[in-house]
Each structure stands twice: as C-alpha cells, then as structure tokens.
C-alpha cells in the first residue's frame, strides 16, 4: 500500500532553473494538496485541488503552478526557482468523510535547495 | 480566516510523566480540529480529530485531546509519555465549510529517559 508518493526526494537547483515535483496517490482520494514546511512556520498551503479538474490557491502560491493531471496525480512546478523557495515540500491527499472531516495522508516529503 | 497557535516551541518531559501540548485556534464557523505528528525525516501522520460530540477525543498511540469551545483550545495530552513520543507535533484547524487545513508552527516534544 504505497499511499502518497513524491518524487524526487532531494533536489538542488540554481536560481532561475525550473523543475516539477511529482505526486501520486493510490487511495482514490478526491482532494490533493501541496504544502511547504519551513522551520518555525509550520506547514503552509501552496495550492490544493478539491477534486479532479479543479485547483485553487492556498496561502503562499506565488512562484508556483500546479496541474491536477488526473485523479491520482498532482504536480507542483517552479518556473524560475528562487532561494526563498528552499524548503521541504509535502504532498497530501484526502477524502471527505460523511462527518465532513477530511483527514490528510502525507507523502514523505521532497527537500529542495535553491542556490 | 482561520488560524492556529501553538504557544510552546518545545516541551520537555520525563518518561512516565504526563505530556501536554497546547493549541488554540480561530475560525469563523464550526471548527474541525486535528493533531498530526512528524518523526524525523518523515511525513506527517494523523493522530486524532475533533468534529463534533464528546469534547474528549482519543487517538493513536494513547494520545487524547480536549476540545474547549469557550477557550478555543484543543490541547493534546498523554497520561504517561514514552521516549518514543519524542517528535514534532502539529495542531491544525479547518473551517467546517472549507477544504483548506491550516497548521500551527509545531511543538517539538522531547521525552527524556
């Protein structure tokens, strides 16, 4: 049972380079999310997709784009990386329970360093 | 807007002692509250949630949390801490009508033997 799989696990970029973080889930969840984790700031939502075909901005969307390729896959793209985007990125997925709650299942994270 | 505050960056306790990690929240509607734990170099794992009903909710690994509406708090507790409970703990809140989950800054728990 893979859950949420993120690739790559580690990446080093130079300022101005582009890259895409890939995320796939095998739990048939409707919703998917991208968060970044920075020391002392917790997790901040970058973008989310409530369902296949929809994407919405979170708290810190600037400098990022996303694609919900299908129900399983949700990618995060940095078009022109900046040192401020050095962070650990987490993908998550969830389904909406009858109660209305949505418990997120997280991937293992992708550590990105921008020089 | 919704937000979460975890007032303590670090909590240190001796093994066998009670553990409490504090969390306060702010939402405009009905709160959906969660606790997650992160072990070193791992993703976050779900511990427990409060949606409605009994103010005391029980979760994984012997953890529980108490919802207090008047104090807008959702503190995480464990009666007897283990060394293996040492980790980073996050409180999170969602407005009932929303999909977005907002996280606190996290509290590092260290349990000494």
For every one of its 113 residues, what pLDDT tens digit does chain B have, with 9 covering 90 and above? 789 999 999 999 999 999 999 999 999 888 999 999 999 888 899 999 999 888 999 999 999 999 999 999 999 999 999 999 999 999 999 987 777 889 999 999 999 99
Asked if A45 and A35 count as a contact pair (C-beta separation under 8 A), the reply is yes
- A101 CB within 8 Å of a chain B CB: yes
Give the pLDDT of residue A20.
Answer: 97
Q: Which two tokens stand for residue A69?
A: 């390729």
> Nearest by CB to A41, which of B43, B45, B105?
B105
What is the Cα–Cα distance from B12 to B64, expressed in whole angstroms? Answer: 18
- Mark yes or no for CB contact B43/A107 under 8 Å: yes
* CA neighbor of B89 nearest in space, from B14, B27, B23: B23
- Mark yes or no for CB contact A40/B105 under 8 Å: yes
Query: Which of B100, B102, B107 has the highest number of chain A CBs within 10 A, making it the mutation to test binding with A?
Result: B100
CA dist list (Å): B8 to A36, B20, B23, B108: 21, 10, 9, 8
Give the pLDDT of residue A1.
Answer: 64
pLDDT tens-place string over residues A44-103? 999 999 999 899 999 999 999 999 989 999 999 999 999 999 999 999 999 888 777 889
Give the pLDDT of residue A97.
Answer: 80
* CA neighbor of B33 nearest in space, from B11, B66, B61, B8: B66
Chain B contacts of A102, Cβ < 8 Å?
Answer: 94, 99, 101
Residue A106 confidence (pLDDT) above 90: yes
If you count DSSP H runs as helices and E runs as strands, how many of each does chain A have, helices first? 0, 11
Question: How many residues does this entry show for chain B?
Answer: 113
Chain A contacts of B41, Cβ < 8 Å?
Answer: 109
- Mark yes or no for CB contact A102/B94 under 8 Å: yes
């Amino acid at each position: 049972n893979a859950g949420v799989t993120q690739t790559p696990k580690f990446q080093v970029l130079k300022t101005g380079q582009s890259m895409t973080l890939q995320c796939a889930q095998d739990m048939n969840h409707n919703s998917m999310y991208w968060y970044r984790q920075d020391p002392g700031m917790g997790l901040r939502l970058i973008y989310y997709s409530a369902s296949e075909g929809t994407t919405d901005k979170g708290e810190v969307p600037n400098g990022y784009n996303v694609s919900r390729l299908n129900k399983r896959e949700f990618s995060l793209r940095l078009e022109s990386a900046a040192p401020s985007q050095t962070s650990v990125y987490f993908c998550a997925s969830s389904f909406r329970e009858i109660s209305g709650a949505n418990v997120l299942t997280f991937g293992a994270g992708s550590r990105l360093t921008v020089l | 807007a919704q937000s979460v505050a975890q007032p303590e960056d670090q909590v240190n306790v001796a093994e066998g002692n009670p553990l409490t990690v504090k969390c306060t929240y702010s939402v405009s509607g009905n709160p959906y509250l969660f606790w997650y734990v992160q072990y070193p170099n791992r993703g976050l794992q779900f511990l427990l949630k409060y949606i409605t009903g009994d103010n005391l909710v029980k979760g994984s690994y012997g953890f529980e949390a108490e919802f207090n509406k008047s104090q807008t708090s959702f503190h995480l507790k464990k009666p007897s801490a283990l060394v293996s409970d040492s980790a980073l703990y996050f409180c999170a809140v969602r407005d009932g009508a929303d999909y977005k989950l907002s996280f606190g800054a996290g509290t590092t728990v260290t349990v000494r033997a």
